[in-house]
Structure 1
Amino acid sequence: MDIREQKLEQLGYPLDRIVKPAAMYDLLAVDGDIVYASGSIPLDGATLASTGKVPTDVSVQEAQAAAALCVANILRTVHSQIGALARIERVIRLTGFVNSAEGFTDQHLVVNGASQLCRDVLGDAGRHARSAVGVYQLPLDVSVEVEMILKLTR
């Protein structure tokens, strides 16, 4: 287990909690050294950890934790399918979608939860370009969904 995998586990995200796709898609698509991670929702095992609109049903802090869980699920999938988190050269882009109540404009604060976990686990390799998007609804009424583009070492 490398230092990144140890860090992920120390932060409370066991590597053996692998997420399965909720529909007909692949969790990762790899093209050379680029990994496109499908939108990840806040699943904790088979349980949805966060549903509803931010901030009326889910607080900003709860949604930040859900965004971090989405990233953890992507990193778990990379570990499972690619072999090691040490293969991640850098996170290129992260996009967070926030199930937003009318008038809510702090999506960027919610997606900070995802960005912070990237940096906590991957260090400087976790720095990335980012978009935080407020949406009217997300699949399964989850509060947040995160997708990522990663570059692998050769």
Structure 2
Amino acid sequence: MNSKVIKNNFNVAVALYRPEIPANTGNIGRLCVGLNIELHIVSKPSFIISSKEVRRAGLDYWEHLVLIKHENENTFLEYCNNNGRRIIPITKFGKNRYDEFNYSNNDILLFGRESTGLRESLWENDLENSVYVPMSDNIRSINLSNTAAIVAYEAYRHICLS
């Protein structure tokens, strides 16, 4: 198996709930292009998606991004239900450590806002599938784009390299 090229059978996606920092969204967009996966934006972000800051972080890869925008959390949940997508909430209050979780194709890794995380209504009914990345008590959270990279590549390793 050539582990230098992303396999076409990797069908996990990343979703951001109302992102606030353009550079994080741009970096995550670049991550999604690198993994050849979709980026979903749930509800309105705190900035204009086409802004210079987002494009700067995504560099010249932004045109290759498969970006799907959802008007609100209900349309996102409906999309997931209609397309057989399992939502994996990523939160510091998650039940499963990111490297011990059983990822599968069609999962959508759902990340919350940089300042407040995920609203409980987005994940409280699916706590069994929630994931966390361990960290010390010295920080409130790990940077969103770093966390997305950690979890997305673990899902890739789990699905495609195991």
**Scaled by the length of structure 2, what TM-score is found?**
0.29
Higher relative contact order by CA 8 Å / sep ≥ 6: 1 or 2? 1
Which of the two has greater strand per residue? 1
**Scaled by the length of structure 1, what TM-score is found?**
0.30
